[in-house]
Structure 1
């Protein structure tokens, strides 16, 4: 079967890893979705992370479909390949931002910030709202995210699914870890560990960004 060809398996593994890297990088940055998860988890327990993720994944699924159906239908493979340049620049800048701000971001008191927010009490709705109404999410998927998805699309739908699965594994893992920790009155991790993870994610994203910039004609060499 063509699906079991070694080359395709390698491509799927690379797409999965890239999806996980992108997901964990975004999920580890304190923002509306994390604050909301913390606030609701303090009242409703560890399952909050599962429900917030459900709403988040629903919105991202719609974004994925819009990108693939709306864009891929009107542009050719060459244009898609060159879109990787934009994606590479965004990933590079995002990676450098993570490295530069890792110490400051890891010092954010998430529980305190969550207590100051007007939090939606329905976790699925919270996942939908904090994703759909977050400008940073939309900007990411219109630039780097769309270029990654369309490059994966050139390999095949299984590469797109592998990227999405890797991305959602990271999102789900972080959200459940956050809600579980908060429901038990504990910190998810030490600030030092948080900082080190952000450094690692920033470095990996910067590397992916360089690869997209200098190897935009070959998806296999990019991821």
Structure 2
């Protein structure tokens, strides 16, 4: 049940948001990868891209589109799974030439775009918003416009707090990280993206 006070809604949404933010996923991988070159600010930038997509999804839910899109969750999972595998292969392809000493490898726009792409390509992102997220959002609509704003603020605070903490930790370690270890981490990120994509596709096949 959604709390009735604005403070309660923010705290409630923050805790619910952490359940998604803390889970390993492609946006976390993007944060780690971008932080290796872009510093601690990569976390907020990835979050900004993530928020841009979530804001659009929230607006669509408020417009009543969620019930229509739910019919196509299987297609979303298929496309998203394939996209994650593609991102993983591209990451692995660039491992051999990756270097911590390269300049301009990560631009200001890069992490923001990564946050957007990994959100769009993550089937669980859509499933969460079209089920759990839309339910809570609709509940907040019944309370009022300020409740909707409070719900989104708490959710985004969870994303921003977690991904900023991750990028700060990675950046501090990355300042003295040997290049072979850096490339190994990138390789691991690529493999994780492929595994995420393969898992999504396998779960889709298991229900068909």
Q: Tell me if TM exceeds 0.5.
A: yes
The match for 1:64 is: 54
Is the CA contact (8 Å cut-off) linking 1:20 and 1:167 kept in structure 2?
no
CA RMSD of aligned residues (A): 4.5
Taking the aligned partners of 1:24 and 1:109, their CA distance within structure 2 comes to: 19
Please tell me whether residue 27 in structure 1 is matched to residue 6 in structure 2: no
Please tell me whether residue 153 in structure 1 is matched to residue 142 in structure 2: no
1:71–1:2 distance in 2 versus 1, CA, 3 Å? closer
Structure 2 gaps of 5+ residues are 4-15, 140-151
Q: How many residues end up aligned between the 2 structures?
A: 181
Shift of the alpha carbon at 1:102? 5.5
Shift of the alpha carbon at 1:68? 0.9
1:182–1:2 distance in 2 versus 1, CA, 3 Å? closer
Q: How does 1:149-188 map to 2 (within 5 A)?
A: 149-157=129-137, 165=158, 169=162, 171-172=163-164, 174-184=166-176, 186-187=178-179
Is the CA contact (8 Å cut-off) linking 2:36 and 2:171 kept in structure 1?
no
Q: Deviations over 1:117-176 (max 9, x none)?
A: 596xxxxxx4xx4355x3x65455456566343344245359x9779947973x445532
Q: Comparing 100-109 with 160-169, which one deviates more in the overlay?
A: 160-169
Q: Deviations over 1:37-67 (max 9, x none)?
A: 1xxxxxxxxxx40x33224323432431221
Is the CA contact (8 Å cut-off) linking 1:57 and 1:168 kept in structure 2?
no
Taking the aligned partners of 1:53 and 1:16, their CA distance within structure 2 comes to: 16
Q: How does 1:133-144 map to 2 (within 5 A)?
A: 134=113, 138=116, 141-142=119-120, 144=122
SS in 2 for 1:184: coil
Shift of the alpha carbon at 1:82? 2.4
- The ranges of structure 1 where at least 4 consecutive aligned residues each deviate by more than 6 angstroms after the TM superposition are 160-164
The TM-score, its normalising length taken from structure 2, stands at 0.58
Is the CA contact (8 Å cut-off) linking 2:91 and 2:187 kept in structure 1?
yes
1:53–1:28 distance in 2 versus 1, CA, 3 Å? closer
The TM-score, its normalising length taken from structure 1, stands at 0.55
